[in-house]
Structure 1
Amino acid sequence: MGNDQHFVQLKDIVKTYLPEDVPIGAIGEDSNFVKELNINSANLVDIVLDVEDAFGIRLENEDMDKMHTVRDALNIITQKLQDKK
């Protein structure tokens, strides 16, 4: 599974938690979860749990602390998947 597929899968997860005033099109690789997508910390935890389920990985608290943008999340997902091999 390539990064593009990871992005599509992550975008599908994130769009579930977007506030009504944020369009799905706003989700880009450089989008900041809190500042641009207006995702609160409770929903960010839900996103992390959904990512763990969707990708079959385990994210630690320090991983979540590094997840500021969609690209950060993609990099962490990619690293965790490589570590599983």
Structure 2
Amino acid sequence: MELKEIQEKLTPIISKYLPDEVKVEEITPEKDILKDLQINSAYLIDIIIAIEEEFDIAIDDDSIAKINTVQEAVDVIVSKINEK
């Protein structure tokens, strides 16, 4: 799966949890999911579950701890897909 395809699938997952004042266009690789995109930390688990379902992967706690930015989420997804 190509990076662009992963990003295209990840954006709608994250966008469901954006507060009203944050636009979908602001979901870029360098953005911090909690700080920049203002997503509530409780929603991060929902995002992880949605990622696992969308990409048919399992994300362990160590990998979850590495996800701060959108790019880090993409990196973890790529890593888990490659482990399969």
- After TM superposition, the score normalised by the length of structure 2 is 0.97
Task: Tell me the distance in 2 between the aligned counterparts of 1:38 and 1:67.
Answer: 15
Q: How does 1:3-82 map to 2 (within 5 A)?
A: 3-82=3-82
Alignment partners' CA distance in 2, 1:15 and 1:35 = 15
Deviation at 1:63, TM superposition (A): 1.1
Q: 5+ residue gaps in structure 1?
A: none
> Residue in 1 aligned with 2:83?
83
RMSD of the alignment, in Å?
A: 0.6
* Structure 1 stretches of at least 4 aligned residues deviating more than 6 Å after TM superposition: none
Between Structure 1 and Structure 2, how many residues are aligned? 84
AA aligned to 2:15 is: K
Segments of 5+ residues of structure 2 without an aligned counterpart are none
TM-score by length of 1: 0.96
